[in-house]
Structures are given as structure tokens and as C-alpha cells.
């Protein structure tokens, strides 16, 4: 519709800007990519060299760049936008949110989240079948969620077979009165089986303390996580080994990459199309330095600095987490003092985000220097 003459793809994430040739993207070449999982352009960790990336945009005469990814990718896009603006280049920089973790702030949800929750059901169902089939059967399922437990939370609510959901935002403890092991024992005595869903970032402090582990990071600066699923499974087995009269059968299922690799479902396909349209129209109207996504159900252009301020996390003093606790009937593992502290943090969070977001693009989203005639 806009008469664009050339669209190119950058392969291999941020380092693809300066270490690889671009690939031509045509309506024919992208015709059926929405029917496949993964990415045709490839992805990578790290490799963000702002000066080299903007040099590439300048040298190749690119005047619109669409950067697709999660909260780390959006931070990278923000830095590129600042450098483009500093140099006075006529180039729109637009972010499109894509992460199954749903950890991008301000927006309603990110592309991929619905599909991840749907696919997680298969793993939880398998764990439930295995647990139900054995004497004192326990099914442990580890789902993605490095810092945010949205997949685990929504998958738990959707399944209704889950007896305990553990997420990074909600601390828990194993031993003693009110601990996880006591709850597992009680639930097995009552029901004869149980299913535990754990997000990959849950309980990291507990594991690190028990293993004297020192923090390390990947190429993107993310903290490397210890396998909470294996650790938790072993702790449960060790606990019941001390009780010979209480034999258990534990099955651990780790479907994390299977969930990320599937093709998107119908809901996400529709959402992806809407994101693409909004991003394109915003750039063509001359706006830059924004991420596009729905906020309270209405598609908006959100300035990068708002998106990158903090991660979206489950608020465990909120109603949605209370619904999970009602569904699973698990202990909350929190003292009254913990809850009050979290309410205080939540009040500060709401106060900080009580700002106006303008739909369709206007200040505080920047207007680009020039018209955007070719990508």
C-alpha cells in the first residue's frame, strides 16, 4: 500500500547488522512463515555494538528498522534509537514485542504468550496422567519464566490439575511448618497424587545457598539459572527417602524449549498481524522511538523509555495470584510482614505508572526527522 521498494532482513540478531549480509524479504519469501515455529532470520545472545549497528543503517540507507523481541531486545532498540537521533539520521526505529515470558512492562501481553500457555497444557496434562497412575505419584513440570511467572500462573489456572505453582515473584521454603515438603506430604495423603508447576526462575536463592553457587551471566547479561526442576525433584525424593513407609513415584517433565518452538496459535496469529499493522502505520506516519502494543485493550505507541524502565512481573498481592492460590489451595509461604512490604512496593509501582499514554502516536513518542519512503 505504501509503495515500498525494498525490505531486507537482518540475520542472527543484533550482530547480524555488521557481521552478515542482509537477506531480501518479499511477499513470496515470507508467504508461509507464520505457519512455522522459530525464526527465519535467526536469533542470538549479545552482539549489541550500537555504533556499528547505526553505521550499518547509515551505510545501507535504511530509513525504517523494526526490531522484534523481548525486554532485552527492546532495551537494545532504545539505545539504537538514541544513537540514530544523536546523529540526526532520517530513520524510524520501531519495537515489536515478542516474548513468551510476557515480561515487557506497560503492555497488556506480548506475542507468543498465548501459544506458550496453550502448549504448556500438554506437559501439565502428561504430568497429571503420570502422577495419577502411580502410588503417591508426583508430577513436576518446569516452565519458562526467568524473572516473571506469567506462563506458570496462567497455565496453572487453565489446567486446574495443578496442586502447587511456584514462580520467581513468590518466595517459598521447603522445610518446617508451612513449608513445601509438608504441603506435598499432606496433599499426597489426601489425594494420592499431585502436580507441581515451577517457573525456571523460581527458588534460585534457595538453590544457590544450598550449592554455594556464584552468579554468572550469559552474553546478554542475563543471570545464568540453576535447574530448579531437577533440584526440587531431588529435594522431594530425599525427603521421602527418610520415610520408608511412604513410597513416592516422581516424574519430572521439562518441556521448556518444546513450548517455545511450536507454531503460534490462532489468537497469537491475529495479534501478530495487528502489531505489524500498527508498527508499520506508525513508522510511515513519521514516528520513531516507540514500541507498539495494546494497553488496556487499545493499540498504542509507547515510548521506549517507558517500556525499558522495569520488567513486567506477577504482583503477588494482586487478585490474579489470589485466584491461583484459590485454584491450587497451596500455602502462600509468606508472613504478614512479607505481604505488607509487597503491597508497599506495589503502591509505588502504580504511582510511577500513573502517566498518560497517547494512542496512535503523539508526544512523548518522537516525530522522525524525515518522511519514510523506503525501508
For 298-315, how does the pLDDT look when each residue is reduced to its tens digit (9 = 90+)?
999 999 999 988 889 999
H-helix or E-strand spanning residue 67: strand 64-69
Which one has a higher pLDDT value, 327 or 360?
A: 327
Please name which of 127, 145, 142, 254 lies closest in space to residue 195, comparing C-alpha atoms: 127
Q: What is the DSSP string of 3-14?
A: -----EE--SGG
Fold match, 8-110+265-308 / 114-262+314-334: yes
**Whole-angstrom distance, CA of residue 79 vs CA of residue 86:** 11
Better pLDDT: 345 or 29: 29
pLDDT reading at 374 higher than 50 = no
pLDDT of residue 365 exceeding 70, the answer is no
- 32, 49, 101, 338: which one is catalytic? 101
Contacts of 262 (CB under 8 A, 6+ apart): 37, 115, 119
The DSSP annotation for 155-199 comes to HHHHHS--SEEE-TTS----SSTT-HHHHHHHHHHHHSEEEEEEE
pLDDT of residue 367: 60
**Residue 373 confidence (pLDDT):** 35
* Residue 208: pLDDT band with limits 50, 70, 90: confident
Mean pLDDT of 167-194: 93
224-238: average pLDDT:
89
Measuring CA to CA, which residue among 258, 257, 250 is closest to residue 234?
A: 250
DSSP assigned state of 222: P
282-304 mean pLDDT: 95
Task: Dump pLDDT digits (tens) for 97-155.
Answer: 999 999 999 999 999 999 999 999 999 999 999 999 999 999 999 999 989 999 999 99
Confidence of residue 372 (pLDDT cuts 50, 70, 90): very low
CATH number of 8-110+265-308: 3.40.50.450
45-49, 81-85, 127-131, 146-150, range with the lowest pLDDT = 45-49
pLDDT of residue 224: 66
C-alpha to C-alpha distance for 181 and 162, rounded to whole angstroms: 16
pLDDT band at 348 (very low <50, low <70, confident <90, very high): low
The whole-number average pLDDT for the span 24-52 is 89
pLDDT of residue 205: 85
3-state secondary structure of 137: strand
- Per-residue pLDDT tens for 160-178? 999 999 999 999 999 888 8
| Dist. CA 30–CA 51, nearest whole Å | 30
Q: State the greatest distance between any 2 C-alpha atoms of the chain, in Å, as a whole number.
A: 76
Q: Is the pLDDT of residue 262 over 80?
A: yes
84 is written with which cell numbers? 540514530
Give me the pLDDT at residue 207, please: 87
Residue extents of the structural domains in the chain: 8-110+265-308, 114-262+314-334
For residues 283 and 92, is the Cβ–Cβ distance under 8 A? yes
Residue 349 has pLDDT above 90, yes or no: no
101 is catalytic: yes
pTM of the model: 0.84
Output the average pLDDT for the chain: 87
The predicted pLDDT at position 190 comes to 95
> Which CATH class, in words, describes the domain spanning 114-262+314-334?
alpha beta
Cβ of 83: how many Cβ atoms within 10 Å?
Answer: 17
Mean pLDDT of 205-212: 78
Residue 338, pLDDT > 70, answer: no
DSSP one-letter string for 308-372: SSSB----TTSHHHHHHHHHH-------HHHHHHHHHHHHHHHHHT-S---TTS-TTSEEPSS--
Residue 239 confidence (pLDDT) above 50: yes
Amino acid at each position: 500500500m505504501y509503495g515500498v521498494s525494498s525490505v531486507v532482513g537482518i540475520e542472527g540478531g543484533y550482530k547480524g547488522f555488521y557481521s552478515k549480509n542482509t537477506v531480501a524479504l518479499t511477499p513470496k519469501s515470507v508467504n508461509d512463515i507464520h505457519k512455522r515455529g522459530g525464526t527465519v532470520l535467526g536469533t542470538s545472545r549479545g552482539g549489541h555494538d550500537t555504533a556499528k549497528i547505526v553505521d550499518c543503517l547509515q551505510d545501507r540507507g535504511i530509513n525504517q528498522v523494526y526490531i522484534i523481541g523481548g525486554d532485552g531486545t527492546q532495551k537494545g532498540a532504545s539505545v539504537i534509537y538514541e544513537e540514530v537521533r544523536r546523529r540526526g539520521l532520517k530513520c524510524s526505529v520501531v519495537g515489536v514485542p515478542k516474548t513468551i515470558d510476557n515480561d515487557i512492562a506497560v503492555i497488556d501481553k506480548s506475542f507468543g504468550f498465548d501459544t506458550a500457555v496453550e502448549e504448556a497444557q500438554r506437559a501439565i496434562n502428561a504430568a497429571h496422567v503420570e502422577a495419577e497412575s502411580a502410588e503417591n505419584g508426583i508430577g513436576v513440570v518446569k516452565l519458562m519464566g526467568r524473572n516473571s511467572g506469567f506462563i506458570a500462573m496462567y497455565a496453572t489456572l487453565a489446567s486446574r490439575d495443578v496442586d502447587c505453582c511456584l514462580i520467581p515473584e513468590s518466595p517459598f521454603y521447603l522445610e518446617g511448618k508451612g513449608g513445601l515438603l509438608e504441603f506435598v506430604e499432606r496433599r499426597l495423603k489426601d489425594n494420592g497424587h499431585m502436580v507441581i508447576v515451577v517457573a525456571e526462575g523460581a527458588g534460585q536463592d534457595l538453590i544457590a545457598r544450598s550449592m554455594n553457587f556464584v552468579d554468572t551471566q550469559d552474553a546478554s547479561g542475563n543471570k545464568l539459572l540453576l535447574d530448579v526442576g531437577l533440584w526440587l525433584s531431588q529435594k522431594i525424593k530425599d525427603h521421602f527417602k527418610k520415610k520408608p513407609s511412604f513410597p513416592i513415584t516422581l516424574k519430572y517433565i521439562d518441556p521448556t524449549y518444546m513450548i517455545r518452538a511450536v507454531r503460534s496459535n490462532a489468537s497469537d496469529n491475529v495479534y501478530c498481524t495487528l502489531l505489524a499493522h500498527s508498527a508499520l502505520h506508525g513508522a510511515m506516519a513519521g514516528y520513531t522511538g516507540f514500541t507498539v502494543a495494546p494497553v488496556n485493550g487499545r493499540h498504542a505507541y509507547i515510548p521506549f523509555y517507558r517500556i525499558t524502565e522495569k520488567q513486567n512481573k506477577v504482583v503477588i498481592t494482586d487478585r490474579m495470584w489470589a485466584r491461583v492460590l484459590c485454584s491450587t489451595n497451596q500455602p502462600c509461604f509468606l508472613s504478614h510482614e512479607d505481604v505488607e512490604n509487597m503491597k508497599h512496593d506495589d503502591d509505588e509501582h502504580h504511582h510511577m505508572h500513573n502517566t498518560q499514554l497517547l494512542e496512535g502516536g503523539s508526544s512523548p513518542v518522537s516525530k522522525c526527522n524525515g518522511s519514510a519512503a523506503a525501508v
